Amino acid sequence: MTAPRRAGYIAQLLRDARRSIPLAAFVCALVATLNAVCWSLITPPFQVPDEPSHFAYVKQLAEAHALPSSGSFSFSAEEDRAITDLHEGYVQIVPPMGTIVSLAQERTLERDLTVAARLPREGSSAAGVATSQPPFYYLLETIPYALGWHGTLLTRLELMRLLSALFAGVTALFVFLFVREALPGAHAAWAPAALSIAFAPLLGFMSGAVNPDSLLFAISAAIFWCMARAFRFGLTDRLAALLGVITVIGLLTKLNFVGLFPGIMVGVGILAVRRARLSGRASAYRAFGLAAGIAAAPIAVVALINLTTDRPALGFVSTSASLVHGSLLPALSYTWQLFLPRLPGMRATEPGIFTTGQIWFDGLVGQYGWLDVAFPEWVYLLAWGFGAAVLVACGRTLVVLRKTVRARVAEITVYLIISGGLLMLISAASYFNPSGESYTQARYLLPLLALAAALLALAIRAAGRRWEGVLGTVVVLAIFADDIFSQLLVIARYYG
């Protein structure tokens, strides 16, 4: 295919995609992007979990053209200077202490950053907790880093944050598309459900920072859309290849995506079986081979590299699997209690803590900074009432649509397996961590935003055709209020 014909083909694909995506989806994407941009502006530099490490990773790639190799926190001289002048450690450790506000502090910061920007640039082989992560997100972030090359470190940081904000828009776009495919009869609930996700404060907070989570959320939402479309229209070769490519990008974005991988493969297997019944085994094998072959390619490459260097074939996965031996039941008990109330007879792993509420639900409602910025307790109690009402309304809709639910049990099972895989990974990361560090942060649940939107859509549909619009507006306004007050909370914490 010649270059002009190839360009025309791509342009036609883009036009077809534009015609197939309603304007409301793009509006939701725009809202999510702008919301994340607002968060990027009000959140002080490096006051988002692990942002100094993620910035150091990008800096190493952009300046040394090499991956970081050390998990220490000895960053480059330029970044260390900025962290010192911003009083990052004190602000993080001492909650009453806000970010720099005096004119003298600002002038010192500007002078040091300007001087550092004129010196020869060099990265650092250390990227803290980010060192073990795959490079795809960080490679993308070298683009805004290069655009801000002649500016100070904070200029580059903000440009990098803006790229993450774009990923929030992609997340909201695919959430809309997923809800449309998964609930084709709930037209009035598509936009409110996706718009609620666009206004979700934790999505804006994390996507307004330099963190691979922002891309992980978008990739995960795209996976759910592909699955919903395949269950609705069948696993075509094109869709199978797309699923494989998106899975590869997810595996190259963040290790947490490994938790979604088994469920994705189960879904592809079920879809291939369905295709075999309609188009024959050869067609099904081809579709399954496209999706699974493309998706498994990075895993095969990593295993080959590790085997040739006398390391465990699957890296940390192999190590974790070896740790499970002899401690499976305690690990399962820990996983259950991490997400659900403790059952009678279970030994308490988190005594005195209602993990479902205090860690996960409260975290989704709003805990910011280094998890030290939180609402008064009554706000979370009010949110619990809202959440309970959503679940009751969702349950009512599922009862009314029970015949449809039974007909789609395979699809729902795949979504549950994907979710369960992620939860197991989160639990294993904490349970088998030699350092004892906990990975219980609500942001780790955000790859499941598409399913959260589906629950909201089901709840909105419970109002019936006459009141769907009203209930949808109430849901959007409630989450929008949470977003606004969350931003005010962060402003008061750091600038009050």
pLDDT digits (tens, 9 = 90+) for 335-374: 888 888 888 777 777 777 888 888 899 999 999 988 889 9
**pLDDT at residue 93 greater than cutoff 60:** yes
- Indicate the number of domains in the chain: 1
Please answer whether residues 68 and 126 qualify as being in contact, where contact means their C-beta atoms are separated by less than 8 angstroms.
yes
Q: What is the mean pLDDT of residues 112-130?
A: 82
329 token code pair: 């039941």
Q: Is 158 inside any structural domain?
A: yes
> Which H/E stretch holds residue 31?
helix 23-42
Q: Is 25 inside any structural domain?
A: yes
Residue 229 vs residues 163, 193, 277, 293, 413: alpha-carbon distances, Å: 28, 18, 18, 20, 16
Q: What is the mean pLDDT of residues 254-269?
A: 94
Please answer whether residues 255 and 426 qualify as being in contact, where contact means their C-beta atoms are separated by less than 8 angstroms.
no
Q: Is 310 inside any structural domain?
A: yes
Contacts of 70 (CB under 8 A, 6+ apart): 125, 126, 127, 131
Q: Is 433 inside any structural domain?
A: yes
Please give the Cα distance from 115 to 152 (Å, whole number): 9
**pLDDT at residue 16 greater than cutoff 60:** no
pLDDT tens for each residue of 53-69: 999 999 999 998 989 98
Please give the Cα distance from 301 to 445 (Å, whole number): 28
Q: What is the mean pLDDT of residues 407-429?
A: 93
Give the type of residue at 151: G
The pTM of this model reads: 0.91
Instruction: Name the average pLDDT for the chain.
Output: 87
Phi, psi of 398 (to 5 degrees): -65, -35
Please answer whether residues 250 and 223 qualify as being in contact, where contact means their C-beta atoms are separated by less than 8 angstroms.
yes
Out of 6-20, 207-221, 252-266, which region has the weakest mean confidence (pLDDT)? Answer: 6-20
pLDDT tens for each residue of 145-175: 999 988 899 999 999 999 999 999 999 999 9
Phi, psi of 374 (to 5 degrees): -140, 160
Range of the domain at 163: 21-40+48-76+122-495
Neighbouring C-beta atoms of residue 353, cutoff 10 Å: 13
Q: Is 116 inside any structural domain?
A: no
291 token code pair: 């999706």
Please answer whether residues 380 and 365 qualify as being in contact, where contact means their C-beta atoms are separated by less than 8 angstroms.
yes
Q: Is 16 inside any structural domain?
A: no
**pLDDT at residue 9 greater than cutoff 50:** no
Out of 71-85, 87-101, 251-265, 279-293, which region has the weakest mean confidence (pLDDT)? Answer: 87-101
Note the pLDDT of residue 323: 47
Q: Is 151 inside any structural domain?
A: yes
> How large a percentage of the chain has pLDDT more than 70?
89
